[in-house]
Structure 1
Amino acid sequence: MRMTMSWRKSLVVVIFGIAAFSGPFGGNMVLPLFRYIGNDFSVGQFYLGLTITLYMMPFSILQLFSGMLSDVFYGRRKTLLFGAAMYSLGALSSYFSPSIAIFLLSRVLQGVGSAFITPISMALVGDVFEAEVRGRVMGFGALLTTLGATLGPLVGGFMGLIYWRYVFLVMLLFGLILFILIYFFLPEQNLTHFNRKEAFRILKYGIFNFLVILIGFMGLTLFFTRLSIYTFLSN
């Protein structure tokens, strides 16, 4: 049975689609630019690697908080606006960065913004669409994510031949489009009727579980690293 979507559902699809596409597209556009960034700032591989690490760290960690903040405290619209503003500010600052320190700080801001855009746009889909339709919308988002990850290095490499900083103007464009759509057209969702004390308790256990998993992975990595060293030395 064909479903006729309301304007609100259409808007959520557009917001979710832009978020799903722009995240991997913008992230992967940076990968072919390492040579140009290194030459511009006169830095080596260590600092170039940090451009990815300092983006992914806040993106990974702050997702623990962004969903709870949108559910209980501030609502979807305010948290999405915050994310789009941080992402846009980070992209603009990256474009004008006079030094590697400012550039790395700008990447942190972009990671913070993404942490408030990606999960909350997915939550919007759950808020608006019925269960039997939700899977198709999420599948559409997965398609755009793959497309963004594929096109990102191609577009980034091409723009690097012209001027590598133009990549961040493309990211800025995505951020501004999201901000405008959310600010002018997206109505606020009702906050979850949830006890805030209970929310903090769940958040505390979420952080604890994250730290346990992180320590476990660190221990596993250390084990295999030591194992490879001892195996090499034994020969």
Structure 2
Amino acid sequence: MTEKKAKGLVILAIGSIPLIMTLGNSMLIPILPRMETELGITTFQASLTITVFSITAAIAIPILGYMSDRFSRKSIIVPALTLYGIGGLLAGVAAAWFNSPYIWIMVGRALQGLGAAGTTPIAMALTGDLFKGGTQSKVLGIVEASNGFGKVLSPIVGSLLALLVWYGPFWGFPVFVLISLLLTVFFVKEKKKKKEAPPIGKYAKGLLSVFKHEGRWLFTAYLAGATCLFTIFGILFYLSDTLETQYNIDGVRKGLILAIPLLFMMITSFTTGSKIGKDLQRMKKLIVFGFLLMTASFATLIFFEKLWPFIAVLVVSSIGTGMVLPCLNSLITGSVGAERRGFVTSLYGSVRFLGVAAGPPIFEALMNWSRTGMFLATAGLTLLVGLLCLLLIHVKNKTGSKEEDSEAHTLFRKFQLTTE
């Protein structure tokens, strides 16, 4: 096997991991209204199938991040994918054969959330370990594009599987997991660690040092990532409900419509990751501009109630999100060395999951309150976060010799990110 082909297979394996994670929530969004009818549950209870997955993942992610630093990325990813598949299988079995399946579906979803905790954040850390410089940014762009592709694909796949039986998406999880699992096991080869992992006390002290010196911009970046995921899943929840209740659109047609804004986000994520390289100034500009696009889109949506003009304006926010996320991925992944990268990227993944978890229930409450208020509040949030990024993320050029570069700042060989 040629080196180029081997590298391509590694990227394919890494890219499959966030795609699998994304299926965990997005594939269920089209079936939530049907789940309410079939199980006799409320809209809020249905939304909890998204929330329990995300909260479980958010809690477990930092723990698995530390374990990936302590041991290896692959030793966490493989069992995590396996648990993810088992959780989906349990939910499918419960829906098919149990008299009161809701509680068991929730248990299965919690197991899936635990498995998801060892997927995308660890894949980001693994990317930081295996690739450097511009290639690292490009692969992280692919990771985010894969995440976006999963969001595009999953409503369609979820709708198709639901044509067989409403709980079909639960049965689909183990199949998709198996593909990613095989790719990871056979094609991802980690570099041997040069030294033993530090004891937990020293490890924690190092993390405190990282957050002491770079905490302000780092937590701002975390908030930005959470906000992006919060708005994505909140709007998808609103759109899914609107398509079914106002337009009587369900099944594959609904999945295809839900996929439109996500397709633009995926394309933008891939393009952004390919173009940003190691240019931190460009990353910051794209983050701020992306949030301005999101704000303009959400604020304008109050004037559009017809479906296709609404979708067209919503696409603008998806493009903005596609600009923001790859830049955040590159900044956060490059902020620390390999010995603590797993925890830092996992904490980022954790707050992203919290954003996902908060989206459906909060938007459900906002929908009951006021459509106009919902969109204006969302626009206000993205504007505020965009301003925080403008004010708290500071970048400046700093050229240093190769010998002076530390492993903790591989992304910053020509640029150093500082806080004032």
Using the size of structure 2 for normalisation, the TM-score is: 0.45
* Sequence identity (%): 26
Distance in 2 separating the partners of 1:173 and 1:123: 25
Tell me if the contact between 1:75 and 1:190 (Cα under 8 Å) persists in the aligned partners: no
The aligned runs of 1:6-155 (5 Å cut-off) are: 7=6, 9-72=7-70, 74-97=71-94, 98=98, 99-155=101-157
Structure 2 CA distance for partners of 1:78 and 1:135, relative to 1, 3 Å? same
Structure 2 CA distance for partners of 1:203 and 1:103, relative to 1, 3 Å? farther
Structure 1's consecutive aligned runs of 4 or more residues displaced over 6 angstroms after TM superposition are 203-206
Partner amino acid, structure 1, of 2:9 = L
Partner amino acid, structure 1, of 2:143 = G
Structure 2 CA distance for partners of 1:135 and 1:46, relative to 1, 3 Å? same
Relative contact order, CA 8 A, sep 6+: which one is greater? Answer: 1
2:4 aligns with 5
Distance in 2 separating the partners of 1:23 and 1:5: 27
Q: CA deviation at 1:200?
A: 4.2
1:199 aligns with 203
Which is further off, 138-147 or 89-98? Answer: 138-147
Distance in 2 separating the partners of 1:153 and 1:111: 19
Tell me if the contact between 1:19 and 1:121 (Cα under 8 Å) persists in the aligned partners: yes
Which is further off, 98-107 or 155-164? Answer: 155-164
2:171 aligns with 169
Distance in 1 separating the partners of 2:205 and 2:52: 28
Structure 2 CA distance for partners of 1:166 and 1:202, relative to 1, 3 Å? farther
Q: CA deviation at 1:199?
A: 1.9
1:231 aligns with none
1:25-62 CA distance string (max 9 Å, x none): 34211011113222332222232121011000022222
How many positions carry a matched residue from both structures? 211
Tell me if the contact between 2:13 and 2:188 (Cα under 8 Å) persists in the aligned partners: no
Using the size of structure 1 for normalisation, the TM-score is: 0.77
Runs of at least 5 residues in structure 1 that lack an aligned partner in the other structure: 229-235
Structure 2 CA distance for partners of 1:128 and 1:195, relative to 1, 3 Å? same
